Every structure is written in C-alpha cells, then in structure tokens.
Amino acid sequence: MSSPERARRVAVITGAGSGIGRAVARQMLAAGYRVALAGRREAQLVDTADGHPDALVVPCDVTRPDDVERLFADVIRRWGRVDVLFNNAGVFGPAASVDEIAVADWDAVLAVNLTGSMLCAAAAVRAMKAQSPQGGRIINNGSISAHSPRPRTVAYTVTKHAMTGLTKSIELDGRAFGITCGQIDIGNTATDIMDTIGVGSGALQADGSRKVEPMFPVEDAARAVLLMAGMPPSASVGSVVITAAGMPFIGRG
C-alpha cells in the first residue's frame, strides 16, 4: 500500500491509554494512520497521543452504548470514515474458579471484554457499510486463553473464547460489504496485566506450582497488529497467535 493511500486510512483503537492499545496506536500513527484513541482515562489517552496531529482523543467507556455511538460519530465527523477497528479494551478480572466468582465480578468482566467489543464492532460495521468506498477491517484482541486457560480465570477465559465466536460471525456477516474480521491471540507480552497475574514473578500453573514465564516486548505484539491492519482488502487474516518464545502454552498443563 502506498504512503498516500495509507495516510487516508482511519483507525479506531479501544483501550488506547496503556499496554497493547498504546503500543498499537503509536505504531499506527508513525505509519501514517489517522487514529482515534478511546478509553476511560483521558489523561492516559493524551499521553499516548503525545501531541500527534493525526491523533483524536475520545474518552469512552465501551460498556456504555451512548459512549460508543459518540466515539464513532466523532471519528466520522473528523475524518469521514472508519477503515480499521482494533477491539482491544479488556480487563482480567478477579482470580476465581466458577464456584468462587461473584456474579457482579462476572458481569463486569463480560461487560468490558465481550459486550464492549460487540458494541464497538456493531458501530464500526454500521460505519463501514455506509461509507464509500465501502468496507473495512476489524481486529479483535483475543488471548491465548481463547485456546487454553490459566487456572482460576473463568470469567476472562469465557470472554476470550466468546471473542472467537464474535470474530467469526463478523467475518461471515461482513463479507457482502467488504468487511473482514480477524483475531490476534497474544501470550505474555510485557504489559501491566502480566504483573497482575505474576508472569514475571511466578504465574500459577495447572499443577498448582508457580513459574516465572518468558515475556516479549509489547512493541513486537503491536507490529503484528499493524501487519494485520495493513493487509489489502483482498486478504482476510482470520487468526494470528503470537507468544513469548518458550512460554508454557503449547503443552500447557
């Protein structure tokens, strides 16, 4: 794709205030995308944008339908279209098995990870259907937990398995409109959420032990998202799995 073509592309990134979302936003801006940065904490979004003229900061709670509609309305008002959505906002939730988790905690994780992703995808699809030229690409941030769970992560694991169903449904229903949807499943990239589950100091394993696991730079995970986003409309990237080399995923348990 030529530089002038790419400069006209518009991306929306949720959870852009930190971690993977921040890294992806900064790489997309550097690559010439116009990028809307969405998240609940405005100060962190401003920090991600770092004064870039092609960054649009939009405070947004993805669990609130009105916020999501306002996000996409602001993007279309500013740039006229949506070419890429990176559905990245997510929370890990409490460490708990199915018999331990409180219903309120279950609902809170599903609201962000699953319903929030659905709301953003729905708004993006409506925009992509209506614009000319029609179409676009949605990238859902799954997890290796969409394949193999960690112990005591029932809410998070369920949402990431459900994300795969959401991805496939969007891909199927979007075909007639030039809309593609793929999922990236990332394992052990160096972000704050990895500290939450103790990957660097000792993450809980299936046998009850704790093990320090390898991690890899978040910028490398962001490069994989950028690769997916930059593929031509004729190509659909259904699934990408990227993990830290040597982490206990293949053969986990």
- Could you give the residue numbers annotated as active site? 156
Residue length of the chain: 253
Strands (E), 198-238: 203-204, 210-211
Is 56:75 a contact under the CB 8 Å cutoff?
yes
Is 49:57 a contact under the CB 8 Å cutoff?
yes
What are the structure tokens assigned to 237, written together? 């990237």
Is 198:210 a contact under the CB 8 Å cutoff?
yes
The secondary element (H helix, E strand) that includes residue 219 is helix 218-229
Interacting residues of 20 by C-beta distance below 8 A, sequence separation 6+ = 88, 141, 186, 189, 191, 218, 221, 222, 225
Is 21:15 a contact under the CB 8 Å cutoff?
yes
